[in-house]
Structure 1
Amino acid sequence: MSMKEHSLNGFKAISLAGDFDAHTVEQTRTEFANLVEADSENLVFDMADVTFIDSSGIGALVFLFKRLSVEKRTMCLVGLSGQPARLISLLRIDQVIETHDSMSHFLKQSDKQFTQPATVGS
């Protein structure tokens, strides 16, 4: 999996590509920790090029979401399709983490503030 970061309308955009599974979660653990510790921006994950996600990838996203919520920050997922979209919908992650069909849809909405972070677990 590849991961690229850039700033976008006051948000930090992270583009992911490839499989987001147990193997690649290990590779991204440090980068995800840095996103929480080094920055204060809300995050937008561009998932358009993610071809597969497993429970480890889902767990990494939920863990990151919870850490950001503690800091009064949030994140959203854009461009989900195929297997990743089906799994995120099946697990109802999309009811907790804001999603957008595409980056262009997100950008049209970005003049509005992110919704308040939802609480996941206790």
Structure 2
Amino acid sequence: MNITINVEEMDQYTKVYIGGELDVYTAPKLQETVFPHVKLNQTLIIDLTEVTYLDSTGLGIFVGLFKSLNAKNGTLQLVGLSGRLKRLFDITGLSGIMNIHSEVEGGV
């Protein structure tokens, strides 16, 4: 149950690189690291290329980020989703409301 999180702040956006397992045990670390970067009119790009596992707690973090950013007129973009992760977002209906790109370049 390991997770790596790296944050890169740019002028127009913040990019977060996540690796490992995102579950009930690692979600609090992600929340503590990422939510302080939710700013007015900001784009937050989350690169999930290295995520090997995602459960409902992890999905809940993304829903929370999406709501927080919308409230501040910002946007959330998820990039680098594997086929398995993309299916999770499709099944839950989140892919219909969130900006999701399989390719990493799609988010910038």
SS in 2 for 1:22: coil
RMSD between superposed Cα atoms in Å:
1.8
SS in 2 for 1:23: coil
Looking at structure 2, the residues matched to 96 and 9 of structure 1 have their Cα atoms a distance apart, in angstroms, of: 25
Say if 2:74 is the partner of 1:73. yes
1:106 is displaced (CA, Å) by 3.0
Mark the structure with the bigger radius of gyration. Answer: 1
SS in 1 for 2:42: coil
Find the counterpart in structure 2 of residue 106 from structure 1. Answer: 107
Structure 2 spans left out of the alignment, 5+ residues:
none
Find the counterpart in structure 2 of residue 12 from structure 1. Answer: 14
More strand by share: 2
1:74 is displaced (CA, Å) by 1.1
Looking at structure 1, the residues matched to 99 and 31 of structure 2 have their Cα atoms a distance apart, in angstroms, of: 22
Find the counterpart in structure 1 of residue 50 from structure 2. Answer: 49
What letter matches 2:21 in structure 1?
Answer: D
Looking at structure 1, the residues matched to 107 and 30 of structure 2 have their Cα atoms a distance apart, in angstroms, of: 24
SS in 1 for 2:81: coil
Structure 1 spans left out of the alignment, 5+ residues:
108-122
